[in-house]
Copies of this chain bind each other. A is one copy, B any other.
Amino acid sequence: MTVHEVEPFNAEPPRSALATSELTPVDAFYSRNHGPVPDVDARTWRLRVDGLVSTPLSLSLDDLRDRFAERTETATLQCAGNRREGLAAVRDIPGEAPWGPTATATASWTGVALADVLAAAGVQDAATDVEFLGADVSDQADPPQEFGGSVPLRKAGMPEVLLAWAMNGEALPAVHGAPLRVVVPGYIGARSVKWVHRVRVTDAPSSNFFQASTYRLLPPDAEVTATPGEGVELGLVAVNSDFLAPDDGSEVPAGPTRVSGYAFAGGDRTVVRVDVSADGGATWTQADLAEQASTWAWRHWHASVEVPQGDVELLARAWDSSAALQPERPEQVWNPKGYVNNSWARLRLHGV
């Protein structure tokens, strides 16, 4: 793993670790944290469900297992800072880790549907949003604050949104949120709150630092401040893609070369097409798309491209089911916090 920071722990794997299977091994799954991994005692841990509900709940893990149907969903998570290094190459982004293209990964998640828990609590008519609070305290907020965030009630009520205790069939590791985490497929990773201990039904989006003051798209000329409400709240994931093999900067035999990668689109969209070019975008080859493990998962793709002698930069670009195409250049999407670099993927190869 490339460790961007030790405490809080922030790390991503090499491209090759994501290339081999649709499901990412747990030890190759990126870690994005804003505070130390909290030490949660699963025996005394309770999930509080409150706010605009008719019956507030306090649930142990056994309560969750006993009272609600178990569900497993395969879903991709993607950090809003994924591929930030491509933006930082355009203009400096101080104070933010230069994530490469692997701050995204896919797992099968097992737990219960948040919708079932909300139904047991009884959501009031005035509710519009559902907020999650984790046990990790971050001193990036002033004063230090538990990590949290919310999603619209319409999304929270969908069957794919889970309170999960297992990942790829094994107990959730501490670093990925044990004993329980939220999984919100199709939304930026920040909404899949780890170490969740409270679900609060509200009538407004979360005012937590990590939603109201950061994880926001600021205009290019904005100063980075912690003023709540500046710029645009991130949430749904835009169509994105990158190469996974060969590695960037590889030497390969000139001639037909197999390249592969991932593409992902959040919300109600899926990836429907990926194009690859070895001539700067003058001509494109349509990649073969692997079967999608679920509606909420990325699609692996591969293509054969003609690599010439010498240096070449390959391009890849994905289209989603709304016919949205990634924008071409990182300059077009540059923003002061370096979020959502979904410009066309670029891979340098050297043909010999």
Contacts and interface: CB of A to CB of B under 8 A. Distances in A.
Interface of A: 154-155, 217, 219-220, 232-239, 266-269, 272-273, 284, 286, 319-329, 332-333, 339-340, 342
Nearest to A321: B236
A322 B237 contact: yes
List the 5 closest A-B pairs by CB distance, nearest first: A236-B322, A238-B324, A323-B340, A238-B322, A232-B272
B325 A339 contact: no
Contacts of A237: 322
A25 to B, nearest CB: 28
Contacts of A323: 217, 232, 234, 236, 238, 333, 339-340, 342
A329 to B, nearest CB: 8
5 contacts: A154-B268, A235-B322, A236-B323, A238-B325, A328-B332
A236 B232 CA distance: 22
Contacts of A238: 320, 322-325
Nearest to A317: B332
Contacts of A322: 235-238, 266-267
Nearest to A80: B323
Nearest to A341: B323
A326 to B, nearest CB: 8
A54 to B, nearest CB: 21
A321 B232 contact: yes
Contact of A332 (B269, B286, B325, B340): B325
Contact of A236 (B219, B234, B235, B269): B269
A238 B324 CA distance: 5
A237 B321 CA distance: 9
A217 B340 CA distance: 25
Contact of A232 (B319, B326, B340): B319
